[in-house]
Structure 1
Amino acid sequence: MTTSDDALTYVYAAVPLSAGLRDALEGLRGIYGSPVLFVTAPGTVAGDPRAPLAFATSHVPLRDFNESALKNHFEDLEWLEDVARTHHDVVQALSTHTTVLPLRMATVYQDDDRAGRALAEQYEAFAERLAQLIAHTEFGVKIYLAPAAAPADTGPATGPGAATTPGKAYLQRRRAQHNAQEAVYGQAQNAAEVIGAIASRYASQHVRHPTQRGALTGPAENVLNDAYLVPDANAEPFRAAVEEAVGVFDGIRVEVTGPWAPYSFAMPPAVGQHSATGEERGS
């Protein structure tokens, strides 16, 4: 199917294509309700025993996904959230039926032919990476600290060592608050070390993402935001081991999410991505 002049080809992911996958995902809808289609690379090597690779795509309006429109839309949080959710839903739907290599949100090409040529140019790299992701999924592990409480005014202190002035009493309360917060940070560090040791047994790769801030975390402070690539056979043991191990730490909350399509591992290991044991636009 070709792309009309007023539309672009939006790419969600690269996948091994089979008749079964086409049938299973018939009727799947993408951004703005457009059907999800598959674009293959021209000139696939004859006799290759692997399933041919394809881009999972849909057509999106040029007016909303050209370069200048995207710059404006990325300031529109409601629009951005809708597109991100749909992108994720399509990738997750694909991942329930096959190994999936997610592409970044808003990866678009001028038409299906350009998308197919781009796939051909990266065919071997995609095929190699997909082979490494077979029977693996991604899990996220985050550590949060509760917000520090303001030093309470409990009235005049009595007994040995009690402050003799309101100012000294305030400083004592601040010091106690600081010491309590430092203890919580220590608990978080210990929990992170325990999680890393568990991951060395169950996960094959690890990515450390920047910690989150603002509306994403609410009043809690996010101090660890890691992703692990876990073989399917280890998925439940990994989750259970982490959740059991971190239950002994006070003052922190550990969140384990997944299994997800391997967003954090779509590209080979690079800086910040390593073994757990030790937007692109088409022209």
Structure 2
Amino acid sequence: MNTSGSLTYVYAVTHRTGLLDDALATVHGIGQAPLRLLCPTADTTDPTPTTPLASLAFVASDVPEQDFNETALKNHFEDLQWLEHVARTHHDVVQAVAARAAVLPLRMATVYQDDHRARQALSAQQAVFTQRLDQLRAHTEYGVKIYLAPDATQPPPTAPAPPATSPGKAYLQARRAQRHSRDAVYQQAELAAEAIEAIASRHATQRVRHAPQRGELTGPEENVLNDAYLIPDDQAGQFQAAVADAARGFPDLRIEVTGPWAPYSFAMPAPGPADAPEPPS
């Protein structure tokens, strides 16, 4: 039940269990709002008895309408401090659910006019959501990133050019050495990516290739691979160990495994009723 002046914010889709009910009582949503589970609306035209789909639920909480209506969201998406707070809380809720049940994370700032509209949206997509949750059950997302060290593409120190060498020729020789050095490092990155792909083919059930990260997220390093893998829980240790072992063969690269994460990269976007503000992608 919504409070006055609020919208329904939805964090994720999951299956309702008693264990999850207890866990959510200790976690809070945006603005310290209590969390609740919303089940699909009943279809009074369907004479069939209740099915296991009835255990499907949205994880939701109230948020202030003045901060999450369509106009407010457009303004807030320019406010990095506000975005960080909402994103962190959204992530914390999803991770808390993922620790206890299969979870399908939804996009940040997925909101509905009220609980009734949210339940209708869940009801319309419950078969698809259930199928996807079945595919994600007992699986966890891990990321693998390859970075080039900031000095890995620089040419090794060389002795000063002989006096007979012109400044122009010395410059060209330095540029050629730098290009050869960069080519060698990028070839190593390609070989490392092939090694990781071979490892993933033995363990991962799905892969998503994200664009390499840039700017403040990487610092002075260059990110050249940013992949996400869906790994069965009983193979996670083997996958991480195999990637770590392969990384030792590429000393000029930094290969990082991140996770475990809720399966953000393998979720589908939330259904969008006409009254739900559509957040930027």
Normalised TM-score (structure 2): 0.90
Cα RMSD between the aligned structures?
2.1
Matched letter for residue 98 of structure 2? S
| Range that drifts further, 119-128 or 36-45 | 36-45
The equivalent residue for 1:276 is none
Tell me if 1:171 matches 2:172: yes
The 3-state SS of whatever aligns with 1:178 is: helix
CA distance in 1, matches of 2:184, 2:171: 20
The equivalent residue for 1:156 is 160
CA distance in 1, matches of 2:178, 2:188: 15
The equivalent residue for 1:77 is 80
Shift in Å, 1:153: 8.6
The 3-state SS of whatever aligns with 1:248 is: coil
After superposition, what is the alpha-carbon deviation per residue over 1:52-76, rounded to whole angstroms, capped at 9, x for unaligned?
1010011111111111111111111
Shift in Å, 1:27: 2.6
Cα 1:74–1:135 change in 2 (3 A) is same
Cα 1:153–1:47 change in 2 (3 A) is closer
Matched letter for residue 113 of structure 1? H
| Range that drifts further, 189-198 or 12-21 | 12-21
The equivalent residue for 1:66 is 69
Matched letter for residue 225 of structure 1? N
The equivalent residue for 1:275 is none
Assess if the C-alpha contact under 8 Å between 2:125 and 2:271 holds in 1.
no
Matched letter for residue 167 of structure 1? G
CA distance in 1, matches of 2:131, 2:159: 67
CA distance in 1, matches of 2:173, 2:164: 8
The equivalent residue for 2:25 is 26
CA distance in 2, matches of 1:90, 1:163: 68
CA distance in 2, matches of 1:14, 1:136: 15
Assess if the C-alpha contact under 8 Å between 1:207 and 1:228 holds in 2.
yes
Matched letter for residue 241 of structure 1? A
The equivalent residue for 1:8 is 7
CA distance in 2, matches of 1:232, 1:74: 35
Assess if the C-alpha contact under 8 Å between 2:13 and 2:106 holds in 1.
yes
The equivalent residue for 2:55 is 52
In structure 1, the gaps of 5 or more residues are 269-278
Shift in Å, 1:151: 6.6
- 1:113-128 equivalences under 5 Å are 113-128=116-131
The equivalent residue for 1:36 is 35
Cα 1:151–1:232 change in 2 (3 A) is closer
| Range that drifts further, 140-149 or 105-114 | 140-149
- 1:194-273 equivalences under 5 Å are 194-267=195-268
